[in-house]
Structure 1
């Protein structure tokens, strides 16, 4: 049995994680159904702002070796 290379491991995990994210974004898109959900423009802006910020941090971590942030999104009432 051959040992998995670092690049093979990266590709395997990146593919799974990217597909998980794509699926979750599809589910977020399902929240746009006004027959099932009620939301304000401000809530939508906050939601997508948090998603975009997380994406920017993740992308920048490939340029900066030390980026750790475990922020969670929450509507603040």
Structure 2
């Protein structure tokens, strides 16, 4: 049982730190001097991120739920 805990901690720390880094990189996209985006684009980004956070949280609470396809701003 201890090995499962150790593996969980190891993977959780690595994955959460990677996610935090990636969220910070998404924040860098807010630089209007480098990028052109609309308020609607920003809303879509944060709606998609929030949806995935909620789905991950639900899985920890015992609700497996389904998975959607990859995020796309434009079709």
Compute the TM-score of the two structures, normalised by the length of structure 2.
0.89
Once the two structures are superposed, the pairs formed by residues 5-20 of structure 1 within 5 Å of their partners are 5-20=3-18
Give the helix-richer structure, 1 or 2: 2
Higher relative contact order (CA 8 A, sep 6+): 1
Structure whose alpha-carbon radius of gyration is higher: 1
Which contiguous aligned blocks of 4+ residues in structure 1 show a shift greater than 2 angstroms? Answer: 65-68
1:36-71 Cα offsets, whole Å, 9 max, x none, are 001100000000000000000001101125334153
The unaligned stretches of length 5 or more in structure 1 are none
Contact 2:48 2:71 in 1 (8 A): yes
Alignment root-mean-square deviation, CA: 1.5
- Which residue of the partner structure matches residue 40 of structure 1? 38
